[in-house]
Structure 1
Amino acid sequence: MSDTATPGARLLVVDDDPDMLRLLSMRLNSAGYQVTAVTSAESALTQLEIEHPQLVLSDVRLPGKDGLALFDEIRKRHPSLPVILLTAHGTIPDAVEATARGVFTYLTKPYEARELLEKISQALALGAPVHLPSKGSDESWRAEIVSRSNRMAEVLAEARMIAKSDASVLLRGDSGAGKELLARAIHRASARAEKPFVAVNCGAIPEALLESELFGHMKGAFTDAVANHKGLFQQADGGTLLLDEIGDMPPALQVKLLRVLQERAVRPLGGSQSIAVDVRIISATHRDLDAAMEAGQFREDLYYRLNVVTLTLPPLSARREDIPLLANHFLNRLSAKYGKRLSGFAPEALKALTTSAWPGNVRQLFNVVEQVCALSTSPLIPLALVQRALRVPTVEVQTYAEAKQRFERDYLVGLLKLTDGNVADAARMADRNRTEFYRLLQKHELTPGLFKSDATGGSGEPVAEERRP
């Protein structure tokens, strides 16, 4: 994060050695910081009443109150203000203890100027305020995307360029990385911004319903079709349609989608005529579509139709400088939801958030912030509450489609165990006909014969089917 220093940030520097204070001030001024220099803890506390710096850099050994006592006072008055301590070799134990109590970090004299500037940059990044593009500004198209990282800046620059065309876009990225937000941003930056933006998760809707949802149906097309229904293609006419988790679309529907994209027209279920539609397609997936094509699970011709331009969102772990911004942004939103006055995160709490793994990306970060917001009893979110939230696995880290797939497979396995692998009995208990039930078993690669009593290894669990030459 050393490349994300806050230009012009105001620093308060405390050292009783005039030569050291002068040298520090020169180095920091040349790095672009505004420096206020004082020679004692008492002067520092007075200065804090006059102006509020963004960081305090203090020697541990000071006349009167020492640096540790100064830190304690700062913590009482300005709990979210980061503090860095400079320490001689003999005071390292005190500095280590202070770090455990909330000091951002400490540096041992003599220290390298580069290391000092890097630590200052990191501390400022943790405490930096969120600056969202205002509505009506040139950046309002990406108002929902909170970021200042170089990686995201590159993606957003490409997205804005792509938005000017009508080319189909494929968004790649891990679950929870923010693909739908980026799709919305592309729509807002396009000439279609005043028309509808419609999103559908292709993996969350059962196959039998997805065709009707996408293309619509006519009254009487099937048992429950009591009225004509406009599909999502018609609802998005003139605007943008996001096909989220396109990699989960069933093969039979892939063929029909390809036809719609080629003909630029949809035929509702039960209809005799096609209806022209003008829709810009953005698709998104966390799956490896190249591998899916090789496995015969995704059509190559559809892939090239959708993948005119590709944008790849980086995982949250690849843009850690955005974590403090996002955490504070979510905290501001959620504090209103829970009716609490929350001032922010303690520096060590933000540090813990910034260094976590985040396998669930931005979605997981939101869930963690919501948990600490709901449980916090003080205006400043403490480290202990963040650590607690990070330790608890949250079910929301899974997408709906993933959770649905897992539940469906577990349900089928349970039925097969209960019926000793008898498909007719299992289908009857599931209230499904045998053909449909066999299709479900095939989808989840389940072999009924492996669940018969003589096919288990005595543990009640199915064993691998013996391969014969």
Structure 2
Amino acid sequence: MNDSQAKSESCLEEDKRAGQSTQNDPIPRGRILLVEDVASLRAIYQTHLRNAGFEVHTAASASDALALFRSHPVEIVLLDLMLPDRDGDELIPEMLALRARTAILVLTADRSVDRAVNAMRLGALDVLIKPVSETRLSNAIENARSFAMQANPQSDGQNTATIGAFIGQSPRMQKVYDQIRSAARSVAPLFIWGESGTGKELCAHAIHALGSRAKAPFVTLDCGALPADRLDSELFGHRQGAFPGALNDKAGALLNANGGSLLLDNVCELDPTVQTKLLRFLESGCIKPFGADEPVQVDVRVISAAAHPPMEVVNLGRMREDLQYRLHVLSIEMPPLREHPEDIETIARAALDRFSAEEQRSFTAINPDAMSWLQSHSWPGNVRQLMNVLRAAVVMHDGPELSVEMLPDSVNRAPKSPGASPSTPCANAQPVIRTLAEIEREAIEAAIERHDGSIPRAAQELGVAPSTIYRKRETWEHEAPSTH
């Protein structure tokens, strides 16, 4: 008899004894399949899980694991990646193909980022690096249990028209909803990217609400709205007296989100020093608030949001490559509204109903000319701009029908002539040459004016961080007055 067969037979005997000893025990909190070929570790994990009230089935090989998985309705799998007959990550897609809503936790002594990322992309809910402490194991199992309890097998394969606070029902948005459902079953770091106004924060909220951490905190931190020294404190916290003005302890966003999710909006605006500390947290799971003597263990799912794709932020010099690799285990692109214009009518009607109720107006419809204009507009500010235009129209007018004339002056309401370009210069006209800096300044100042002086709202429209605009305006103040 070889070593693998002996281990497997021993595991089967353990299961038989477990079945005999638990006949009169209370109903278990859940069923777990533990796949670990090292007998000492298997015994430690098994004892801990049974003491926590779980029914545990054990296997020492991939073949026995699949056999037990098929014959026992387990909700959670604790899976070692190094097994004697096959690599454990090969089992992940096979198990999920049999029962898609299974929560799979991976055990590995390999600290390679590649291995962890691959397991997450295959569908693992979490990756536990050996040796695993009882606290880390307990937290991971509780998250997996929450996921398993929320899973509804009857809903698998069901194509819900919308998800979260989203409204669009186009094929392009249905693809996004599918990605959200897939991302929600994991706790892997997620990178959401897309133009300003496309709904990146809505996407993060939907993923949190559908996941195993739905009842835990969801915290948002805008990395572009704060200077670097304050951002460090807002993210990692500080202790009373750590620096002048630190009158009280501050928990920081990571500690406030413990057990839940943290959205780092405008993540590209992180100062390089803060990026280094964030990378250290993602590798260790520990933070050290400024002025603290000891590090603090924190369990947080980090969701990042940016206007550019993950690799582009690295190529632009906005983020360390190793940090981007840690943050970008999973990614979702939020499409601009021009890529799903068929959703404009649905969004506009829903927005009109909502704003009319909130502002106590009597609007009940959008007339055909107004709807035609809304559908033909390019919407550079995407859904947010469309919503702002409709809210402004509702605030300044009353129904029952919204017309083109009611749309605010901040958008170009002139009808387009068939076949004509927006601006056709005269044949003899000489083009006006302007520098890129001048064009950029005009665009920024026009956006600020459109938003009544609000730099954060102008930044959202332009797809940049507020701090970027503040820095540029400070530079302009020290420049000679423009002669244009």
| 1:221 lines up with 2:242 in the alignment | yes
CA distance in 2, matches of 1:216, 1:402: 22
CA contact (8 A) 2:362 2:398 kept: no
Number of the residue aligned with 1:399 = 460
| 1:411 lines up with 2:466 in the alignment | no
SS at match of 1:371: helix
Structure 1: unaligned runs, 5 residues or longer: 1-136, 419-458, 462-469
CA contact (8 A) 2:162 2:169 kept: no
SS at match of 1:256: helix
| 1:311 lines up with 2:374 in the alignment | no
| 1:321 lines up with 2:382 in the alignment | no
| 1:352 lines up with 2:373 in the alignment | yes
CA contact (8 A) 2:198 2:382 kept: yes
CA contact (8 A) 1:233 1:279 kept: yes
CA distance in 1, matches of 2:170, 2:483: 52
CA contact (8 A) 2:314 2:321 kept: yes
CA distance in 2, matches of 1:274, 1:192: 23
Q: How does 1:20-39 map to 2 (within 5 A)?
A: none
CA distance in 1, matches of 2:334, 2:316: 25
Q: Please point out which of 191, 213, 217 is paired with 1:196.
A: 217
Number of the residue aligned with 1:450 = none
How far the C-alpha of 1:198 sits from its partner, in A, is 0.7
CA contact (8 A) 2:191 2:332 kept: yes
Q: Residue 412 of structure 1 aligns to which amino acid in structure 2?
A: T
CA contact (8 A) 2:392 2:408 kept: no
CA distance in 2, matches of 1:291, 1:193: 31
Q: Residue 247 of structure 1 aligns to which amino acid in structure 2?
A: C
Provide Cα deviations, 1:432-457, integer angstroms capped at 9, x if missing partner.
xxxxxxxxxxxxxxxxxxxxxxxxxx
| 1:381 lines up with 2:405 in the alignment | no
CA distance in 2, matches of 1:382, 1:296: 46
Number of the residue aligned with 2:385 = 364
Number of the residue aligned with 1:236 = 257
Provide Cα deviations, 1:185-227, integer angstroms capped at 9, x if missing partner.
0011101111111111111111111110011100011111101
Q: Residue 271 of structure 2 aligns to which amino acid in structure 1?
A: P
Residues 293, 321 of structure 1: alpha-carbon distance in 2 compared, 3 angstrom cutoff? same
| 1:163 lines up with 2:184 in the alignment | yes
CA distance in 1, matches of 2:192, 2:316: 21
How far the C-alpha of 1:403 sits from its partner, in A, is 4.2
Number of the residue aligned with 1:106 = none
Number of the residue aligned with 2:356 = 335
CA distance in 2, matches of 1:295, 1:378: 48
* TM superposition score normalised by structure 1: 0.57
| 1:143 lines up with 2:204 in the alignment | no
SS at match of 1:193: coil
CA contact (8 A) 2:168 2:343 kept: yes
CA distance in 1, matches of 2:472, 2:392: 30
CA distance in 1, matches of 2:312, 2:364: 47
Residues 348, 387 of structure 1: alpha-carbon distance in 2 compared, 3 angstrom cutoff? farther
CA distance in 2, matches of 1:158, 1:416: 47
Residues 250, 202 of structure 1: alpha-carbon distance in 2 compared, 3 angstrom cutoff? same
SS at match of 2:241: coil
- Which of structures 1 and 2 has the bigger CA Rg? 1
Provide Cα deviations, 1:296-337, integer angstroms capped at 9, x if missing partner.
431111011011111111101111111111112221221123
Q: Please point out which of 244, 253, 258 is paired with 2:279.
A: 258
Residues 397, 310 of structure 1: alpha-carbon distance in 2 compared, 3 angstrom cutoff? same
Q: How does 1:432-451 map to 2 (within 5 A)?
A: none
* TM superposition score normalised by structure 2: 0.56
Q: Residue 477 of structure 2 aligns to which amino acid in structure 1?
A: G
Q: Please point out which of 261, 270, 283 is paired with 1:249.
A: 270
CA contact (8 A) 1:331 1:370 kept: yes
CA distance in 1, matches of 2:382, 2:345: 13
SS at match of 2:302: strand
Q: Residue 391 of structure 1 aligns to which amino acid in structure 2?
A: N
RMSD of the alignment, in Å?
2.4
- Taking only the aligned residue pairs, the percentage that are identical comes to 35
SS at match of 1:234: helix
How far the C-alpha of 1:291 sits from its partner, in A, is 3.5
Q: How many residues align?
A: 285
Select the structure with the greater relative contact order (CA < 8 A; seq sep ≥ 6): 1
SS at match of 1:341: coil
CA distance in 1, matches of 2:471, 2:343: 36
Provide Cα deviations, 1:157-204, integer angstroms capped at 9, x if missing partner.
121012111111111110110000000000111011111111111111
CA contact (8 A) 2:264 2:303 kept: yes
CA distance in 1, matches of 2:247, 2:259: 27
How far the C-alpha of 1:376 sits from its partner, in A, is 1.8
Q: How does 1:73-84 map to 2 (within 5 A)?
A: none
CA distance in 2, matches of 1:254, 1:273: 20
Number of the residue aligned with 1:120 = none
How far the C-alpha of 1:140 sits from its partner, in A, is 10
How far the C-alpha of 1:145 sits from its partner, in A, is 0.7
Number of the residue aligned with 2:174 = 153
CA contact (8 A) 1:151 1:319 kept: yes
Q: Residue 266 of structure 1 aligns to which amino acid in structure 2?
A: I
Q: Residue 409 of structure 1 aligns to which amino acid in structure 2?
A: K
How far the C-alpha of 1:405 sits from its partner, in A, is 2.1
Q: Residue 478 of structure 2 aligns to which amino acid in structure 1?
A: L
